Structure 1
């Protein structure tokens, strides 16, 4: 029996390449001095502009804004990690995110099943709330946390544990859904079941050993839930 679902945001609710590829191109264009500098900045964060994608080790995939800032800082003398973190968050809050599937109908259907829903992201909380609000999800979730919300970042279990605590749910009856090993490890560490989705950068072979199931996207969740014993 499942009583709640906590979702990662980027690569899970929103298609990673289409959403963060746009952010990377816009943000790096804004801070680069020229084409050569743009290429060095892109390399520093693992962005592949010709493919509008990212290397699997890119800090943009599962790390935090300060981690991205630290990767960029050596190539931007005179700008501190704190300044770059603020610039990253400001740019992220305004980027147009591409839904992995139509989110409001899905979340409405999940809530109709009596499920409590949450979002746990390594994005900062302010841009995360901006993204969720812009897509009509704020009133459909019971919990929103970013790396800076006081529970720590994934793969630590803090955000997942806080969701269970604040909703009064047994973690064993909660699913963590994400597109990266950080997400799945965080859910496992919190005592939750884990579902991997393929709307991020990681592949099914990467994720399958760490997940109870691998789905193409979160739109497949209702059918998967229907296979569980009552």
Structure 2
């Protein structure tokens, strides 16, 4: 972790607690898409690896690290909609998701900025949704990108390398922080240091082989980077 001058965050499961934010969102979305048909709702929930009764995603869920487009293509045949129509609907619903910050974000981000670090967000969500979700602290970020921003989605490194270019940093000076293997693989491919956090669905054992460090949440960053 020596020489880190920029931090790139995943959004869901990293800046925001995944289950607390997206469990309620998924229940509501599936209720709307199913039209009240329990069998259709159950089929879509199974495709998403989502436990309707508990309101929680299972670790193998493709939604955890998938792009908005991939989720739309997964559910479209079951919802009786085109992928394009469902993608737009998912984006609208995602923008209104009840966000649960993993830690108080403003205080943490201001501390990191105060230490001279460049900050960014790289998510497999839509860029427009990401900007809405971080609107309250967006001035603290130098870069916000989604899978539809023109750099590709994770686990490919396009968004990560775009952040490094924007920030004027070598990839080796950037720390990629995420809660999924997609995040960490992207970080490795970009030549960045990687930090796994456990505010998503994956457990430490699922991520440790790809991470330079594993911490419970992003609130541990100042200590990890030995910031004054």
TM-score by length of 2: 0.96
Does residue 165 in structure 1 map to residue 155 in structure 2? no
CA distance in 1, matches of 2:65, 2:200: 10
Which of these residues, 97, 110, 124, is aligned with residue 126 of structure 2?
124
Does residue 142 in structure 1 map to residue 145 in structure 2? no
Q: Match for residue 13 of structure 1?
A: 15
After the TM superposition, which residues 107-122 of structure 1 pair with which residues of structure 2 at under 5 Å, given as runs? 107-122=109-124
1:66 offset after TM fit, Å?
Answer: 1.3
Q: Match for residue 204 of structure 2?
A: 204
After the TM superposition, which residues 148-159 of structure 1 pair with which residues of structure 2 at under 5 Å, given as runs? 148-159=148-159
Which of these residues, 99, 102, 116, is aligned with residue 100 of structure 1?
102
CA distance in 1, matches of 2:85, 2:62: 18
Q: Match for residue 194 of structure 1?
A: 194
1:56 offset after TM fit, Å?
Answer: 2.0
Q: Match for residue 224 of structure 2?
A: 224
CA distance in 2, matches of 1:83, 1:90: 11
User: The residue matched to 1:196 in structure 2 has which SS?
Assistant: strand
Does residue 60 in structure 1 map to residue 63 in structure 2? yes
1:73 offset after TM fit, Å?
Answer: 1.6
CA distance in 1, matches of 2:159, 2:137: 18
1:50 offset after TM fit, Å?
Answer: 2.0
CA distance in 1, matches of 2:133, 2:79: 28
In structure 1, stretches of 5+ residues that fail to align are none
In structure 2, stretches of 5+ residues that fail to align are none
Deviating 4+ runs (over 2 angstroms): none
CA distance in 1, matches of 2:90, 2:13: 18
CA distance in 2, matches of 1:50, 1:221: 35
CA RMSD of aligned residues (A): 1.2
Alignment length (residue pairs): 225
Q: Match for residue 72 of structure 2?
A: 69
CA distance in 1, matches of 2:65, 2:193: 19
1:209 offset after TM fit, Å?
Answer: 0.6
User: The residue matched to 2:225 in structure 1 has which SS?
Assistant: helix
User: The residue matched to 2:219 in structure 1 has which SS?
Assistant: helix
